[in-house]
Amino acid sequence: MSTRKKPIVVVTRKLPEPIETRMMELFDTRLNADDQPLTQGQLIEAVRQADVLVPTVTDHIDGAVLAHANPNLRLIASFGTGVDHIDLASARQRGITVTNTPGVLTEDTADMTMALILAVPRRITEGERTLREGNWKGWSPTWMLGHRIWGKRLGIIGMGRIGQAVARRARAFGLSIHYHNRNRLPGAVEQELEATYWESLDQMLARMDIISVNCPHTPATYHLLSARRLELLQAHSYIVNTARGEILDENALTRMLRRKQIAGAGLDVFEHEPAVNPKLLELPNVVLLPHMGSATIEGRIDMGEKVLINIKTFVDGHTPPDRVHAGMF
């Protein structure tokens, strides 16, 4: 770390006001007042001057950017849980520690996942659009029929903090809980969640009514839900993704939704966001949200406080609590 009394901390996006205020009190902080995403050139300039970089999921901190890092840059304290936007190998080679903010967005993301699990089969956004557009002609016994949630089988891909939080909510709605994970959960956790483990993702996909994607994006999970795997889903099934868009082959999903090979989808993330496949926008059986899963005031402040603790701990010469270790995902 630099010998300056206060390290230079460069923040790439606008953060909640209480976090920015505290950061300016503690460090020599450079903020992004207009909240525009930084270009690669601006990110390069940031790593040239920073002792600590505070990026978000919209910033691609790859090897080309880190090649310009000044020798005093020793910490990347990311604002968010996912670290797939950071080249961890390049950071390690340069002796740069990387931290994230795990845990604080668990409940918020699980809430949004559950909202989509309800919204898609019950056609909530379709009904809302019909009403706003003035096309509602009154109640009818056979109009706008969706599907019951109670008694259906939910397959959760990725049973970490968020996956387990989704399972707890889903149980309250009468869903049968199934999951696929890199490692099987302890028996006590399975018993608490009344969850059935599937070692084979393919076999689970073929037997579920609803699929919820809750695993991180890593090289191993890129297009985990490939065209081949999506074709295993039953025609009456729904898929919800609040994790990362890259986990799912968006073009294949769009084709299958258009052909009604899948009943519907709820997507909060996209493979090339903020770009969204225009063919997805045309589909009535899809609920699309602009990456809102963790978007609560409380959650964002909690994330910022974790960033502050990670930086302060590191500056004081200790290992930060949320250090990202090789292979942790």
Is the per-residue pLDDT at 329 higher than 70? no
Whether 180 and 60 map to the same domain: the answer is: no
Each residue's pLDDT tens digit, 43-52: 999 999 999 9
Provide the mean pLDDT of the chain.
Answer: 95
Is the per-residue pLDDT at 325 higher than 50? yes
The pLDDT of residue 82 is 87
Q: What percentage of the chain has pLDDT greater than the value 70?
A: 98
Q: Is residue 326 part of a domain?
A: no
291 belongs to the catalytic site:
yes
Each residue's pLDDT tens digit, 132-157: 999 999 999 999 999 999 999 999 99
Whether 177 and 308 map to the same domain: the answer is: no
Q: Is residue 150 part of a domain?
A: yes
- Residue 5: pLDDT band (50, 70, 90) is confident
- The mean-pLDDT minimum among 200-214, 286-300, 315-329 falls in 315-329
Considering only residues 166 and 217, tell me which one the structure prediction assigns the higher pLDDT.
Answer: 166
Q: Is residue 325 part of a domain?
A: no
Whether 300 and 280 map to the same domain: the answer is: no
CATH number of 278's domain = 3.40.50.720
Q: Is residue 1 part of a domain?
A: no
Whether 209 and 67 map to the same domain: the answer is: no
Q: Is residue 126 part of a domain?
A: yes
Whether 227 and 240 map to the same domain: the answer is: yes
Is the per-residue pLDDT at 327 higher than 50? no
Q: In what order do the strands lie in the sheet with 153-157?
A: 195-197, 176-180, 153-157, 210-213, 238-241, 264-267, 286-288
The pLDDT of residue 178 is 98
Whether 161 and 276 map to the same domain: the answer is: yes
273 belongs to the catalytic site:
yes
Q: Is residue 146 part of a domain?
A: yes
Q: What percentage of the chain has pLDDT greater than the value 90?
A: 94
Q: Which value, in Å, is the radius of gyration of the alpha carbons in the chain?
A: 22
Whether 201 and 242 map to the same domain: the answer is: yes
Each residue's pLDDT tens digit, 8-20: 999 999 999 999 9
List alpha helices for the chain, DSSP H.
17-26, 40-49, 63-66, 88-93, 106-119, 124-132, 161-172, 187-193, 201-205, 227-230, 250-258, 278-281, 297-315
Whether 160 and 93 map to the same domain: the answer is: no
Whether 111 and 259 map to the same domain: the answer is: yes
128 belongs to the catalytic site:
no
Whether 97 and 159 map to the same domain: the answer is: no
Q: Is residue 223 part of a domain?
A: yes
Whether 199 and 227 map to the same domain: the answer is: yes
- Single out the catalytic residue among 178, 180, 291, 300: 291
- The mean-pLDDT minimum among 91-100, 150-159, 167-176, 318-327 falls in 318-327
DSSP per residue over 229-277, as a string? HHTTS-TT-EEEE-S-GGGB-HHHHHHHHHTTSS-EEEES--TTTT---
- Single out the catalytic residue among 161, 244, 246, 271: 244
What distance in Å separates the CA atoms of residue 139 and residue 251, rounded to the nearest whole number?
Answer: 36
Q: Is residue 327 part of a domain?
A: no
The pTM assigned to this predicted structure is 0.88
Whether 171 and 301 map to the same domain: the answer is: no
Domain interval for residue 23: 8-104+296-315
Mean pLDDT of 257-267: 97
Tally of domains within the chain: 2
